[in-house]
Structure 1
């Protein structure tokens, strides 16, 4: 039996330029408006048998606003960015350009002292692979980085592909399959 996992990217908590590593900001006003606008399309996902969310404030708030009443899953936390936590990419690049270059090019490196990209992708893949195999469905609201990591893992893409996946707030992707045998499912707007 296979399982269907729909991943919903959390609404935004700050502008793109204000995004900080491993940030736990709540939804901002624009994020709340985005959730209200997208709710009609996303609320049906709440019929899933299992509903989860990342432990971040904006993931929890997005799931609650959509009526999912999700259970927090610590395994769906964002990548641990160590001493870079709370900094913008521009801040870190100005201070540690060689470290940023290493982080972007070597998935095993963790110049920030946190979690290497490869370990992050593996952790998210481990969560996917331990979902119950059933003919039902699961929905999880997570940070965009978590959704990117899940896609890279499910498609068995090289870790460098992580940097080529753009996940917009409130975008949704569905994975179907069994542990270590995932397929990406693209659906039409009509269900």
Structure 2
């Protein structure tokens, strides 16, 4: 039996340029408004046998707002950014430009004292590979965009540098199908997209 794991990107808690590493802020009003706008389109995903979310406040709130009642999964937490936690990329660059450059260039680097990009991708991939096939074929997971990027890099067996070229927008969805160690990327149209000319 193969699994169908649909990732839903959490709604936003700040404008893109104000995004912070390991952002623990709740949804802002714009994020709540976005959840309400797409709730009808994403509600069918609540029929999944298993429903999970990242432990961040915005992922939990997004999952609840969409009617999923998701279970928190610690393995779906954001990358541990060490002393850069709570900073924007610009703030980290202003404080430690050489260390940020090293981190962006080397997926094994941990200049911030936290988790390397490679370890982060492996952790998220390990979660994906250990989903129980016997409990049903459909899973939905509300997660931070960074977690979804890591899952896609892992599922596609792409080089870690691919992580930097994947754009995951708030409340977007992407599905992988398969089972541990063998995943395929699947694109589906939402009901509202299919109705458009």
| Fold similarity call, TM over 0.5 | yes
Instruction: Give the C-alpha shift of residue 188 in structure 1.
Output: 2.6
CA distance in 2, matches of 1:126, 1:189: 28
Instruction: For residue 122 of structure 1, give the secondary structure of its aligned residue in structure 2.
Output: helix
CA distance in 2, matches of 1:172, 1:189: 9
Instruction: For residue 25 of structure 1, give the secondary structure of its aligned residue in structure 2.
Output: coil
| CA-to-aligned-CA distance 1:59-97 (integer Å, 9 cap, x gap) | 000000001000000010000000000111111111111
Q: Could you say what the CA RMSD is over the residues aligned between the two structures, in angstroms?
A: 1.0
Instruction: For residue 124 of structure 1, give the secondary structure of its aligned residue in structure 2.
Output: helix
Q: How does 1:1-191 map to 2 (within 5 A)?
A: 1-134=1-134, 136-190=137-191
Q: Which runs of 5+ in 2 are unaligned?
A: none
TM-score calculated relative to the size of structure 2: 0.95
How many positions carry a matched residue from both structures?
A: 191
Q: Which runs of 4+ in 1 moved over 6 A?
A: none
Q: Which runs of 5+ in 1 are unaligned?
A: none
CA distance in 2, matches of 1:152, 1:10: 18
Instruction: For residue 62 of structure 2, give the secondary structure of its aligned residue in structure 1.
Output: helix
